[in-house]
Amino acid sequence: MTVDATLTARGLLLDMDSTLVNSEAVVELLWQRWADEHGFALEEVLAIAHGRQGWATMAALLPDRPEELNRADNARMLADETRIVEGVVPVAGAPEFMASIVALPHALVTSANIALTERRMDAAGLPLPSIRITAESVTLSKPDPEGFLKGAAELGLPPEDCLVFEDSEAGISAAKSAGMRVVGVGPRAIAFSPTAHVDDLTRIRVEPLTDGRFAVHVLR
């Protein structure tokens, strides 16, 4: 492997689903059920759903539907997602990547709630960062930048010093709106013009520097 790009940062902000944890089988199963109930094709739903909180996806697809119905559907879906962990595995390279950043400032920024976050990270065998921004932490879902801005604030860093790892259009858009650079992870991410792109986390190497920053090497 050779270095394709090097990005420097003082903190990392990490999405969870499809960035660290492969939970797509469960996600597709439950959204298929919802899509069937409401007359949508699964592909139509997933084009919006990735990266967003469930209620926000429902609101985008059914703009005239009362919010309380979307919130209720979202609560039921979260309960099912928390219960079903078959097929939830780490994204390739995620265990090694998480081990390499354990001593560096980093936070999880996910659209999942606390219970689902803990369940999926545990199912994938990944350590849970001490700083995490979950659905309970924000009033607005990605693509709004609120979650990433809160993550940077929790790290005590300005947005421009943070590097985001994301897979979805909503997440990449949120990071860019927050004034942050983005490493897109996985095949979906490349279409949304991240700062750099990797197929999975086996292509990332992190190197501490002497001035409090660290270098993130993107390999090809």
In whole angstroms, give the CA distance from residue 63 to residue 209.
48
- For residue 36, the tally of other CB atoms under 10 A from its CB is 11
Question: Is 17 a catalytic site residue?
Answer: yes
Could you confirm whether 161 is annotated as catalytic?
Answer: no
Question: In what order do the strands lie in the sheet containing 3-9?
Answer: 3-9, 214-219, 204-208
Beta-carbon count within 10 A of 108 CB:
24
From the candidates 4, 15, 167, 211, give the one annotated as an active-site residue: 15
**In 10 A of CB 164, how many CB atoms?**
29
Rounding to the nearest 10 degrees, give the CA dihedral for residues 106, 119, 142, 75.
-150
Catalytic residue among 4, 17, 64, 73: 17
Residues acting as catalytic residues:
15, 17
